[in-house]
Amino acid sequence: MDTINRPGWIEVVTGPMFAGKSEELIRRIKRLEYAKKNVLVFRPRIDNRYSLDEVVSHSNSRRKSIVIDGAKDILPYLREDTYAVVIDEVQFLDAEIIPLSEHLANIGIRVILGGLDSDFRGEPFSITAEMMARAEFVTKLTAICVRCGSPATKTQRIVNGKPAHFLDPIVVVGAAEAYEPRCRHCHEVLGKAK
């Protein structure tokens, strides 16, 4: 695909779980569809919480998506008239999404990425952090802390009614049964040095 005579750029929509990231991606997709732009929507196969072939928000807004296992799976879907590529849950993809996103933006495609900025430990997801640094636009959303009502910037993992342990696996796909939004002061991780 050759360079298209239009500007491309990278946007990242990020924050903790339950902040409305997927809802915001769907809002942007709808606007592009209304403008009659060719939009490709992708999500990683690992995220099968609500649907096998849709981006779904916690409030049940939905948009059809193409399920991928890795960044390279996006390439066969690109066409000359592709205006935007939207990817939900980008933190689950391999590092190849970084140069691919740069390439797409450089050839004139709008790249919109949604994903968690940090894991249950409160540590950055490297893919999202890297893309935030490279993006022209970053929208960082917050949720509401379920403990105190403050702005929630952390994702709390709950295991058997207690905070997860620092040594637990980083990636455990789940929703309200396993995670809740918390503020900095209410966020807990067992076994983590203060």
> Average pLDDT in the 62-82 region?
94
pLDDT tens-place string over residues 21-40: 999 999 999 999 999 999 99
pLDDT tens-place string over residues 150-176: 999 999 999 999 999 999 999 887 777
Residues designated catalytic: 89
The answer to whether 170 touches 181, Cβ cutoff 8 Å, is no
- Answer yes or no: is pLDDT of 76 > 90: yes
Token pair belonging to 93: 């993809």
Rounded percentage of the chain residues whose pLDDT exceeds 70: 92
Prediction pTM value: 0.91
Nearest to 97 by CA among 108, 87, 107, 106: 87
Q: What is the DSSP string of 30-95?
A: HHHHHTT-EEEEEEETT--SS-SSEEE-TT--EEE-EEESSGGGGGGG--TTEEEEEESSGGGS-T
Confidence band, pLDDT 50/70/90 cuts, at residue 106: very high
Burial degree of 35 (CB within 10 A; 0-12, 13-18, 19+): exposed
> Average pLDDT in the 10-26 region?
96
Was domain 9-141 assigned CATH 3.20.20.80?
no
The answer to whether 94 touches 69, Cβ cutoff 8 Å, is no
Q: Can you give the residue ranges of every domain in the chain?
A: 9-141
- The CA distance from 13 to 26, in Å, is 11
Q: Would you state the pLDDT for residue 41?
A: 96
- The CA distance from 45 to 104, in Å, is 21
CA triple 104-98-71, angle to 5 deg: 80
Token pair belonging to 177: 């049964």
Q: Torsion-angle region of residue 74: left (phi > 0), alpha (psi -120 to 50) or beta?
A: alpha
Work out whether the CA dihedral 115, 126, 158, 46 comes out positive or negative: positive
